[in-house]
Amino acid sequence: MAVCNRKAGGSCHTISGQIKKIDDYQKQVILLDKTRIDIDCILNIDGEIFGLTNESETDFD
């Protein structure tokens, strides 16, 4: 997950972890290690699930 500080002179960070839940009230992603990331600051999310291209791999029925 790429996260950027939008203030002048801000920095960008890459954070790795597993998403535990999304707090839609606080607009944050919460990782298993309890790291909280504001959704507005997320530039990119990448992971194994995004590499699935075979239709049988995505058939959840």
Q: What is the pLDDT of residues 15-55, one digit of tens each?
A: 888 889 999 999 999 999 999 999 988 888 888 877 766 55
In the chain, what are the domain boundaries? 2-47
CA distance 26 to 37: 10
Q: What is the pTM of this model?
A: 0.66
Nearest to 3, CA basis, from 41, 34, 38? 41
- Residue 26 has a pLDDT of 96
Question: Between the CA of residue 11 and those of 7, 14, 43, 51, what are the distances in Å?
Answer: 8, 10, 12, 28
Residues 6+ apart with CB under 8 A from 28: 22, 36, 37, 38, 39
Higher pLDDT, 21 or 13: 21
CA distance 32 to 23: 13
